[in-house]
Amino acid sequence: MKFSVEKKDLVANIQSLYNIAPSKNALPILTNYLIEANPDDNSIRFTATDLDITVIARFSLSVSEGGRLAVSAKDFTEIINSMPEAMIHCEKIEDKLHISCGHVDFDLHCADVEQYPLIPEANLENAIEIDARMFRKMVANTHFAASIEANRPIFTGIYWKLSPEYQIMAATDGKKIADFQLNQSHPDLPETEKIIPPKGLIFLRKTVNDENKKIQMRFESNRVLFHYGNFTVFSHVLEGRYPEYRKAMPTENNNILTVDKSLLLDAIRRISILSPDEPFRIKMEINATKLEISSKDRERGEAVEQIDKYEFAGEPTKIAFNYKYLQSILNVIETDKVLFKLSNSQGPALIYNMDLEANYEVTFLLMPLRIT
């Protein structure tokens, strides 16, 4: 194998790929990239997989000699990132990959490529095309709410309901819910529901750019295939029934608060300095004359900040939140102002973009902490 490529072109194609290859695994071969060079069409394929998610980056470059090999994803990525901005030459010499750029030379040991798992061929027949930028928005608004705990496996996935009339993407960990409904008809979409691990979707979200407007997508029996630009992503789907999370959404939260998002985020950032480590509690006291954010740590002290610019209608309310969860929601609020619909100190809070004019609706639900 022998190929040459400009550093910037190589980095653009493999920079997100590194996160797919596991750093440690019971199968050490998975910590490698599978690199396959084809001189016939001057193309190269980089594959990374953790067996649940497989990502293939295929792009054109100058291939003088074909072949396939496996090298450490971590080392290869670090080496490429460290190289000068110039042409990089790679050549397999015996059982090493020689990487050179200007006066810099590396010889990287190759792993046994025969141990690399068989990668399925991407079959894009009957693939559906979806809007890439809207897909990116859907994932960005929901993925953070998925659970990272393995004790409720279904909660680790992102729920995606498709239909010709609308789409819903949602995630929850039991403490917060993010729900994105796209009200846009798409006759090609099947009527189906899938629960997909976030990793592959987050990869695609990072990859979407202004050049390519469409993602091709195909559902197979226990996996979903995406194709976007130079990338192909296979992701398994989670088996099981997603909870009926919309039933948790209250209909009578009549205490309405609107506040500038950046003012609130700044206040939370300051007040959280003295928030106890677990469960990262901050308290909000809201009435017609006061919006106060406070925290208290028995050993370290207490902090209070009042926000002057806000609007509130309803009963005076005191409510406590895990500030990290609240920040994660505020960080994806698109509008300058954020709308809270609250009930009492133990009822979940509905959080929305304020006066968002779009063909989609985003609803966040955040469970409060008990007031102590």
Partner 1 sequence: MSKAQKVFALVDCNSFYASCERVFRPDLKGKPIGVLSNNDGCIVALSHELKKLGIQRGVPAFKIRNETVRHKITLFSSNYALYGDLSARVMSILSQFTPELEIYSIDEAFLSLTGFAEDSNLLAYGREIKETVEKCTGVPISVGIATTKTLAKIANHVAKKYRKFNGVFNLAGHPQMRKVLESISVKDIWGVGFRYSKMLNKRGIFNAWELSIQPDMWVLEKMTIIGMRTIRELRGEPCIELDMIQEPKKGIVSSKSFSKPVTNKQELYEAVAQYTVCALDKLRRQSSVAHDIMVFLTTNPFKDESQYANYISGSLPTPSAYVPEFITLAKDLMNEIYKDGYRYKKAGVMISGIESQYQAELDFFQPAYVDDYRKKVMDTIDYINKRLGKDKITFAAVGVGQEWSMRREFLSRNYTTSWNELPIVKA
Contact call for residue 346 and partner 1 (CB under 8 A)? yes
Q: How far is the CB of 309 from partner 1 (least distance, A)?
A: 30
Q: How far is the CB of 60 from partner 1 (least distance, A)?
A: 48
> How many Å apart are CA 172 and CA 227, to the nearest integer?
26
> How many Å apart are CA 264 and CA 279, to the nearest integer?
19
Contact call for residue 238 and partner 1 (CB under 8 A)? no
Contact call for residue 248 and partner 1 (CB under 8 A)? yes
Contact call for residue 195 and partner 1 (CB under 8 A)? no
CA 357, 362, 364: angle at the middle one, nearest 5? 140
Q: By CB under 8 A, name the one of 245, 312, 352, 360 that touches partner 1.
A: 245
Residue closest to 154 by CA, chosen among 136, 142, 171, 137: 171
Q: How far is the CB of 266 from partner 1 (least distance, A)?
A: 25
Q: Which is nearer to partner 1, 202 or 351 (CB)?
A: 351
Q: How far is the CB of 208 from partner 1 (least distance, A)?
A: 30
**In which element (H, E) is residue 14 found?**
helix 7-14
Stretch that binds partner 1, among 58-66, 215-223, 274-282, 332-340 (CB under 8 A): 274-282
Q: Which DSSP string do the residues of 231-268 spell out, in sequence order? A: EEEEEE---S----GGGGS-S---EEEEEEHHHHHHHH
Q: How far is the CB of 279 from partner 1 (least distance, A)?
A: 5
Contact call for residue 213 and partner 1 (CB under 8 A)? no
> How many Å apart are CA 199 and CA 80, to the nearest integer?
24
Q: How far is the CB of 174 from partner 1 (least distance, A)?
A: 4
Contact call for residue 250 and partner 1 (CB under 8 A)? no
Stretch that binds partner 1, among 15-23, 58-66, 119-127, 243-251 (CB under 8 A): 243-251
Q: Which is nearer to partner 1, 33 or 321 (CB)?
A: 321
Contact call for residue 66 and partner 1 (CB under 8 A)? no
307 CB-contact burial (10 Å; exposed 0-12 / middle 13-18 / buried 19+): middle
Stretch that binds partner 1, among 135-143, 193-201, 229-237, 242-250 (CB under 8 A): 242-250
Residue closest to 6 by CA, chosen among 84, 79, 68, 66: 84
Contact call for residue 251 and partner 1 (CB under 8 A)? no
Return the number of other C-beta atoms located less than 10 Å from residue 183's C-beta.
11
Total number of residues that touch partner 1 (CB under 8 A): 23
CA gyration radius for the chain? 24
Contact call for residue 277 and partner 1 (CB under 8 A)? no
Q: Which is nearer to partner 1, 198 or 368 (CB)?
A: 368
Segment 142 to 181, residues that bind partner 1, using CB under 8 A: 149-152, 172, 174-175, 177
Contact call for residue 243 and partner 1 (CB under 8 A)? yes
Contact of 58 with 87, CB cutoff 8 Å: no
Q: By CB under 8 A, name the one of 40, 278, 308, 357 that touches partner 1.
A: 278
Contact call for residue 372 and partner 1 (CB under 8 A)? yes
Q: By CB under 8 A, name the one of 348, 351, 352, 364 that touches partner 1.
A: 348
According to DSSP, the β-strands at 87-93 and 214-219 are unpaired
Token digits of residue 175: 């403490």
Q: By CB under 8 A, name the one of 17, 63, 168, 367 that touches partner 1.
A: 367
Contact call for residue 197 and partner 1 (CB under 8 A)? no
**In this structure, what is the dihedral angle of CA atoms 31, 158, 361, 134, given to the nearest 10 degrees?**
40
Question: Which residues lie closer than 8 Å to 156 by C-beta, 6 or more apart?
Answer: 146, 147, 148, 149, 150, 197, 198, 238
H-state helical runs in 195-337 = 198-207, 261-271, 323-330
Point out which residues bind partner 1 (CB under 8 A): 149-152, 172, 174-175, 177, 243, 245, 248, 278-279, 281, 322, 346, 348, 365, 367-370, 372
